[in-house]
Amino acid sequence: MPDRIDFQTEPSRYRHWRVSYDGPVANLFMDVDENGGLFDGYQLKLNSYDLGVDIELNDVIQRMRFEHPEVKVVVVQSAKPGVFCAGANIRMLGGAAHNHKVNFCKFTNETRNAYEAAEAESGQKYIAAIKGACAGGGYELALACNHIMLTNDSNSSVALPEVPLLAVLPGTGGLTRVTDKRKVRRDRADVFCSTEEGVKGQRAVDWQLVDEIVANSRFDEIVQERAREFAAASDRSDDATGIALGPLNRTFGDDGSVTYSLVEVVADRSGRKATITLKGPDTDTPADMGGFVALGDQAYMLRLARELEDAILHLRLNEMALGLIVFRSQGDPVRVAAHEQLLLDNRDHWLANEVLQYWKRVLKRVDLTSRSMVALVEHGSCFAGVLAELLWACDRSYMMEDEFEGDNRPMATVTLTDANFGPMPMSNGLTRLQTRFLGAPEAVDTAADRTGEALEANAADELGLVTMILDDIDWEDEIRIFLEERASFSPDAMTGMEANLRFAGPETMETRIFGRLTAWQNWIFNRPNAVGADGALQRYGTGRRGDFDMDRV
């Protein structure tokens, strides 16, 4: 395993994907380097994947949105004959630590969600063009596409064979997308998920597992024809010019800390916590979107989102023992709101829309991070608009009340903007304020009436925007006691409690995917039937079936 898993990459470093651009159509080829695994001990044969493959895919999707706004349709296909994708690599799953498997599946799900939502959010439609075997995570890769095309021959099929082959489940939303998205009948889904060889041809269409089948002799031609049809129907701009996403400015410390231009991560391994400090704008608000575009990836709102996302992913995979994340901010909330307002006022501009959609995805990553989280609203902080969303993404928030001796920073405030009332929903389809006030929806309207005000501690407390306000006498002791207590609890109990409390309200396909993922990972992936010495993951490829404990639990 590498010393540090890096979530940043760029096209010249890809080992597993390649893209060709043809006007409004991008052809994305999965061509996994079987010797390019993230760990030693396995080969990525038959276009199977590990986290490294998905890190590249995540980068492809991000660049499609920002660097190639001319693209309206992305065709996902295999560059290897006879196989589309064999799914997550079994040897990797059999040998990886449990916490790596959990975070791998979560990141993979988030990646699937990103391109699945691209059509609704940005007018970019994804087509899965399947030739050959498409199994397990490979079919899940296809399921997240907006349209699935399958070659009608004797070798091409779709399958979710995890149950009969591996004693586990499709971990990137497969079962949920089959029933909730594809709306496959329950009994047919039961047959499908119990059949190793999968389903092919007309039956795959009849059972709604794919959208269409095409004769092998004309498959490539029809796929491109379909892509052009979809592109012609898209309302995505024809003349937008993308911006380049350059490397992040960051420095890693030996102690797990990371310093970016706008984000600082301080790791306290003995205290089992990490503190993330977000900085306010270091540039003036551009006069218009022309000025914003000219700044490219250095525009404040985009740069901050990229750095925060990277910090969260770094902590998830590289600092798993840091069970508590403390969010702080320092800067001018008026300037934060002004930078944000430029985007909100120009939501019909392709780049403004992409940055706002990106913030929505980043905040969802925060919601779904299995760590205790607390926000400290201190004097000099800049929790305004999208940054204020972090207060309600956290499990608790504490705010400084009145003046503190020797502290000459501006008074602590929380500033609500239009971003807090719609554009940044959680996975449950509600805003974080709607989720917070699920039992008192009128409180959201009351808060909305105070939009634009710099709310000091008493006003924020009355509106229910923070957990507790503390004065100079109590602040230091109360915060210390909370941090020490939280770090002393069982991480397993905390993860279970937090995951249950964070997503009140209606279920969506997205919440079901992540909720079920948590359940199956933390149960099935710890059971000897899957991961024991004689479990299916260990025996896979040996010709011997797993030796199962047959008791139903």
Question: pLDDT digit string (tens) for 217-227?
Answer: 999 999 999 99
SS3 of 90-113: HHHHHHCCHHHHHHHHHHHHHHHH
CB 19 within 8 A of CB 29: yes
Residue of 255 and 391 predicted with greater confidence: 391
If one looks up domain 11-233 in CATH, what number appears? 3.90.226.10
- Name the pLDDT band for 515 (thresholds 50, 70, 90): confident
- Name the pLDDT band for 346 (thresholds 50, 70, 90): very high
Residues 6 or more apart from 90 whose CB is under 8 A from it?
Answer: 48, 166, 537, 540, 541
> Mean pLDDT, to the nearest integer, of 55-80?
98
CB 111 within 8 A of CB 61: yes
> Mean pLDDT, to the nearest integer, of 490-508?
90
Residues 6 or more apart from 139 whose CB is under 8 A from it?
Answer: 85, 87, 158, 159, 160, 170, 174, 198
CB 89 within 8 A of CB 42: yes
Q: Is the pLDDT of residue 506 over 80?
A: yes
> Mean pLDDT, to the nearest integer, of 104-126?
95
CB 374 within 8 A of CB 326: yes
Which of these, 115, 118, 142, lies nearest to 131 by C-alpha position? 142
Residue of 345 and 166 predicted with greater confidence: 345
CB 398 within 8 A of CB 457: no
Q: Is the pLDDT of residue 1 over 70?
A: no
Q: Is the pLDDT of residue 294 over 90?
A: yes
**For residues 429 and 510, what is the distance between their CA atoms, to the nearest angstrom?**
9
- For residue 182, the number of C-alpha atoms closer than 13 Å in the C-beta half-sphere is 29
Q: H or E segment at 294?
A: helix 289-295
pLDDT at residue 526, as a whole number: 77
pLDDT at residue 140, as a whole number: 96
Q: Is the pLDDT of residue 465 over 60?
A: yes
Q: Read off the pLDDT of residues 144-173 as tens digits, 9 standing for 90 and up.
A: 999 999 999 999 999 999 888 878 888 778
> Mean pLDDT, to the nearest integer, of 176-197?
95
- The domain segmentation of the chain, as residue ranges, is 11-233, 251-499
Q: Is the pLDDT of residue 527 over 90?
A: no
What are the contacts of 141-144 at 24+ separation with CB within 8 A? 141/30, 141/76, 141/85, 141/112, 141/172, 142/76, 142/84, 142/85, 142/210, 143/112, 143/173, 143/174, 143/177, 143/178, 143/181, 143/182, 144/112, 144/113, 144/115, 144/116, 144/173, 144/177
Q: Read off the pLDDT of residues 278-287 as tens digits, 9 standing for 90 and up.
A: 999 988 999 9
Amino acid at 119: E
Q: Is the pLDDT of residue 520 over 80?
A: no
**For residues 343 and 95, what is the distance between their CA atoms, to the nearest angstrom?**
45
Q: Is the pLDDT of residue 475 over 80?
A: yes
* Domains 11-233 and 251-499 agree in fold: yes
Task: Quote the tokens at residue 233.
Answer: 């129907």
CB 49 within 8 A of CB 89: yes
- Name the pLDDT band for 534 (thresholds 50, 70, 90): confident
CA distances (Å), origin 416, targets 186, 305, 413, 431: 45, 19, 10, 13
If one looks up domain 251-499 in CATH, what number appears? 3.90.226.10
Q: Is the pLDDT of residue 317 over 80?
A: yes
**For residues 452 and 437, what is the distance between their CA atoms, to the nearest angstrom?**
20
- Name the pLDDT band for 517 (thresholds 50, 70, 90): confident
CB 521 within 8 A of CB 171: yes
**For residues 330 and 378, what is the distance between their CA atoms, to the nearest angstrom?**
8
Amino acid at 345: D
Task: Quote the tokens at residue 171.
Answer: 């971990």
Residues 6 or more apart from 250 whose CB is under 8 A from it?
Answer: 258, 259, 260, 307, 310
